[in-house]
Amino acid sequence: MELLGRSHKLVIWFTVLLTLLSIILLAFYEYTHGDVLSLTDQGTVTVTGDVPHIISINIKPESRIPPTGNDQLSLVVEIRSPGSVIPITSINTIANATGDASLGTIPASALPPGIYDVAIKGLSHLRKVYPNENFDGPVIKNYTLSLPQLPAGDANPTEDNYVNSLDISYITLHVYGNDIRADLTRDGIINSLDYAALLRNLSSYGDN
């Protein structure tokens, strides 16, 4: 009986040790493969990376009417070395109604795992740069950035990344029409609300 009891105890202790070991291994896996968020990051844009980099972003254009489910926007997304304005790769994509856009698959040979800046210029919007994004794979990571919504107003086709009288002139040219560049609010008509959206950023430059 004593021998049987000892065997049971051994089995129980072995099970406990195995469970503890599993928990430790799982915790280590989560630590090394789970989400890593910068302390300075918070807010509105999400970037997901992988190797080969499978990157998706979520953007939020400002001044939309209605404000939700109306986030469609043509985007040019550049991935740059930190602090550089020269794109390593440039991707044209379109954000859907909820602001989601895919950058497709970028081979690790074209974008070695590391830290990069992500620059986003939306149609009729000022460019925003989201710095120091970590695309080091090989697992998917989510990043939430601290920069605000994409500012509207750069409506003129010169796309000079600056909101001024040229952009006002372009909206005026299309008033009561439905030109997509001039329709900053994306409510289907060019009117005073589009001027109001532009005036929020009058004389503002986008990021380089």
Nearer to Ca ion, 92 or 192 (CB): 192
Phi, psi at 201, each rounded to 5°: -120, 15
Residue in 154, 171, 198, 201 binding Ca ion, rule: CB under 5 A: 154
25, 105, 160, 177: which one contacts Ca ion (CB under 5 A)? 160
Give the nearest distance from C-beta 62 to Ca ion in angstroms.
13
CA dihedral 15, 17, 19, 21 (to 10 degrees): -150
Q: Which residues in 97-126 contact Ca ion (CB under 5 A)?
A: none
Nearer to Ca ion, 118 or 198 (CB): 198
71 binds Ca ion (CB under 5 A): no
Q: Binding pattern to Ca ion, positions 182-201, x when CB under 5 A?
A: -x-x-x------x-------
Q: Which two tokens stand for residue 155?
A: 């409506």
What are the phi and psi torsion angles at 49 (to 5°)? -125, 160
Nearest to 194 by CA among 206, 207, 177: 177
Tokens representing 75? 């985007």
Closest CB to Ca ion belongs to which residue?
Answer: 185
- The dihedrals phi and psi of 7, each to the nearest 5 degrees, come to -60, -45
Q: Report in angstroms the alpha-carbon separations of 19 from 12, 32, 72, 172.
A: 11, 20, 49, 70
**Cross-strand pairs, 21:** none
CB of 44 to Ca ion, least distance (A): 22
Instruction: Choose the stretch contacting Ca ion; rule: CB under 5 A; options: 14-22, 27-35, 68-76, 177-185.
Output: 177-185
Binding site for Ca ion (CB under 5 A): 154, 156, 160, 162, 167, 183, 185, 187, 194
